[in-house]
Amino acid sequence: MMISPETYYEENLKGKTSEEILKAIRSLKREITRLKNIAEHPEYVCEMHPSGSVRISCSQDYLERAKQTLKESGVEYQPTKSELKTIEFDENIPNISKIIFSIGGFLCGEELVEVTFTNDTAELKYGRSYIPTTPDDFGKIETIDKASFLEEFKRLHIGEWRKNYNTKRFGYTVLDGTQWELEIHYSNNTKPVKIYGDNAYPYNFDRLKDLLMCGFDMED
């Protein structure tokens, strides 16, 4: 069982010096990297409880609590370049204008979700077997609360994701199989974010699918 961030603070951070807190931060970052490498391996089978994705999510919460504790001790945490990019991504989430997600393969066709936003609504449009190019190409539309959608989207920590996921990272070559792509567009001048995958996935990919693809489960 994982503990709450406040319990982690009480057991590991309370009363510690800034150097000891920094040591805890470095340890948490190493643990998150280790767990991601395990969970993203093509042969990974979840046999632990809690799951790898849950353990990573909790460790990310502990990390944020540790950074807060460091600041409270009078020392400002200095983020790395990759962490600065993650911060920039998260701060720009309110400016997202459209999300396009596709997944499929040569033999099974493709499923696609396009998310657009109004002032308070997220509209999810679903298409199958090809990339829809006009609104009439989409077979189903769902609407949900924009704030709730973006909050859950932020919890995915997509700013930490790699730009490309493939099995070569682990010494594997897979022909055909499943490919996927995530595009994030913005209403300001930010360049669109594009993330690709070929038979390989981020550790919390299922949570992305749960958020975006619920409409397919309700079709037909």
Instruction: Say whether pLDDT at 135 is over 50.
Output: no
**SS3 for 78?**
coil
**SS3 for 125?**
strand
Length of the chain as a residue count: 220
State the average pLDDT over residues 140-154: 93
- Using CA atoms, how far residue 4 sits from 10, 28, 58, in Å, is 10, 15, 8
Tell the burial category of 183 from Cβ atoms under 10 Å away from its Cβ (0-12, 13-18, 19+). Answer: middle
Pairing state between β 109-117 and 121-128 = antiparallel
- Using CA atoms, how far residue 74 sits from 59, 84, 169, 200, in Å, is 23, 21, 40, 42
Q: Residues 158-205: pLDDT tens digits?
A: 999 999 999 999 998 887 789 999 999 999 989 999 999 999 999 999
Q: Report domain extents, the chain.
A: 5-78, 91-217
Burial code (b: 16+ CB inside 10 Å, e: under 16) for 129-149 equals eeebeeeeebeeeeeeebeeb
Q: Residues 84-103: pLDDT tens digits?
A: 999 999 999 999 999 999 99
How sure is the predictor about 219, in pLDDT bands with cuts at 50, 70 and 90? very low
Cα 142 to Cα 214: distance, rounded to the nearest angstrom: 9
Q: What is the pLDDT of residue 46?
A: 77
Q: What is the pLDDT of residue 216?
A: 55
How sure is the predictor about 130, in pLDDT bands with cuts at 50, 70 and 90? low
The tokens for 6 are 């406040």
pTM, two decimals, is 0.86
Q: What is the pLDDT of residue 167?
A: 93
State which amino acid sits at residue 133: T
Average pLDDT, the chain: 90
Q: What is the pLDDT of residue 214?
A: 62
**pLDDT over 90 for what percent of the chain?**
74
How sure is the predictor about 129, in pLDDT bands with cuts at 50, 70 and 90? low
Q: Residues 63-85: pLDDT tens digits?
A: 999 999 999 999 999 999 999 99
Q: What is the pLDDT of residue 127?
A: 84
Handedness of CA 12, 18, 22, 25 (dihedral sign): positive
Q: What is the pLDDT of residue 218?
A: 41
Instruction: Say whether pLDDT at 53 is over 80.
Output: yes
Burial code (b: 16+ CB inside 10 Å, e: under 16) for 88-119 equals ebeebeeebeebbbbbbeeeeebbbbbbebee
Nearest partner of 131 among 117, 116, 113, 115, judged by Cα: 113
Q: Where are the beta strands (DSSP E) in the chain?
A: 96-105, 109-117, 121-128, 140-145, 164-166, 179-186, 193-198
Query: Which of 8-12, 119-123, 161-165, 211-215 is the least confident region?
Result: 211-215
